Amino acid sequence: MTSNRRNFLRNVTLGTGALATGLPAFAKEDGNWFANEITKRQAADGFNMCGYAAPKIETVRIGFIGLGNRGPGAVERISHIEGVQIKALCDKRPERIANSQKILAKNGLPKATEYTGEEGWKALCESKDIDLVYIATPWKLHTPMAVYAMNHGKHAASEVPIAVTVDECWQLVETSEKTRKHCMMLENCCYDFFELLTLNMARNGMFGELIHAEGAYIHDLIQSNFGKTSYSDMWRLKENIGRNGNLYPTHGLGPIAQCLDINRGDKMDHLVSMSSNDFMMNALAKERAATDSFYKEYVDKPYRGNMNTTMIRTQKGKTIMLQHDVTSPRPYSRIHLISGTKGVASKYPEPERIAFGHEWIKPEELKALYDKYTPPIVKHVGEIAKKIGGHGGMDFMMDWRLIDCLRNGLPLDQDVYDGALWSVIAPLSEQSVANKSTTVDIPDFTKGNWKTNKPVNLTLEGGGNTGVKTVSK
């Protein structure tokens, strides 16, 4: 197949709006080719990774890539999980590796092999003594590293978002299916305590048929994004230049997508997205550049709008509202709202609230719901997770669950289709914003398997035997 035909076919099947200006000449001339190839792509015989249980790994050998902001915390948390060996540490800055070696020494663990330099991560992925590559690098490196790891026989787990383009999402899906290696996006918010409670309540029909859900990432990060030492080479500020949409959708989206059984009984169909103007980032760049020449290159740039609102409709007619704002002076919020025919749950603003009518239930009634519907993972490791930490314990529960699944040969709670779908909202929202909030179709990364895929397993059946080292905090 010629490259122009291949690229055109990929654009159409990825939902990138390739038909907006009409069919290219070769497709018009050969309508049968066009119809047949689209059918083939949509029915591609890819191995279904949803529900896939990889062979058990008695001791999970881990290599960490990226030891700046998120990496050291992950090293600390996983050093408390039994049944693992931290075999390798990688960062382009050797001093960061040294800091993580201190974490291992403090927790009585042997020194890990060190990889550094611009491409040291490739050597780590090629190593023969690693089962899982844990990626905590800038966003644009997530997909290349995860794909390289899987192609070299490793499971991959990446910080959010796991991809920044539509094509990268398909790369992850196709590579995971081909290699049969897990590719998990580390969406920690799915393991927060209230989110897990509401997921279990939704599964038990407490909210009736879910109709609508809301999520967000509203977090005042403007000073951090403009900080000279906050993110290596100012990479996070640069992500906010030339990209106008919901750049960080997964924290708010992941938990509500699980409540709606997205990819497991329903699928996202299409979205529309709208952004405000930028009223703050260029202004701050100019203010800082007036006294510090370092910031001159960040003046008069096409920054994203301060607030983005994206609406999604599912195949079954449910709606999702997502928001993104990391510049405005507002209290932190992921919103986390699910609304059904029998009730509603809402987390932000505090306190956590649930209602089955016109009024929120009383605190003692909420406690009773926690007692009844707290899922097994929280009962099993929730208290020690709070001691070990990581955003109140949800990071540790996520890490513990990943290791427990790998050690016991269990399907992951978040598979490659979830990571791809939750991440693809960013580039699709950019497309919609750029075209006056036009509707954009959302790819079905499961290729139709959403109709029969089973919902996320909230039990510890077959697992739960991974120990945790005692900590005192």
Partners of 308 in the beta sheet?
Answer: 275, 324
Q: Residue 311 maps to which CATH number?
A: 3.30.360.10
Same domain as 98, residue 10 = no
Whether 354 and 262 share a structural domain = yes
Average pLDDT over residues 113-132: 97
Dmax (CA) of the chain: 71
**365 and 420 assigned to the same domain:** yes
Confidence check: pLDDT of 53 > 90: yes
Sign of CA dihedral 73, 424, 219, 337: negative
In degrees and rounded to multiples of 5, residue 403 shows phi and psi of -65, -40
Look at residue 350 and give its three-state secondary structure: coil
> Do 149 and 204 belong together in one domain?
no
Whether the predicted pLDDT of 141 surpasses 90: yes
Q: How many domains does the chain have?
A: 3
Does 281 lie in the same domain as 303? Answer: yes
In a shared domain, residues 86 and 222: no
Domain termination site, one of 147, 168, 186? 186
Cα dihedral 225, 228, 232, 234 sign = positive
Distance CA 343, CA 209 (A): 9
- Indicate if 225 and 330 belong to the same structural domain: yes
| pLDDT at residue 37 is higher than 70 | no
89: CATH: 3.40.50.720
Nearest C-alpha neighbor of 62 from the set 37, 39, 38, 88: 88
Domain containing 136 equals: 60-186
pLDDT at 24 (0 to 100):
52
- pLDDT by residue (tens digit) across 304-359? 999 999 999 999 999 999 999 999 999 999 999 999 999 999 999 999 999 999 99
Asked whether residue 130 is assigned to any structural domain, the reply reads yes
- The residue assigned the tokens 């020690």 is 384
Residue 362, pLDDT > 70, answer yes
Cα Rg of the chain, angstroms: 22
Same domain, 31 and 155: no
Task: Return the pLDDT at 40.
Answer: 44
Tens-digit pLDDT profile for residues 434-449: 999 999 999 999 999 9
Tell me which of 166, 186, 206 is where a domain ends.
186
Q: What is the mean pLDDT of residues 252-280?
A: 98
What rounded mean pLDDT belongs to the chain?
93
Grade residue 249 by pLDDT with cuts at 50, 70 and 90: very high
Q: What percent of the chain has pLDDT over 70?
A: 90
Q: For the segment 192-244, what is each residue's pLDDT rounded down to a tens digit?
A: 999 999 999 999 999 999 999 999 999 999 999 999 999 999 999 999 999 99
pTM: 0.92
Q: How confident is the model at residue 46 (pLDDT cuts 50, 70, 90)?
A: confident
pLDDT tier at 12 (50, 70, 90 boundaries)? low
Structural domain contains residue 204: yes
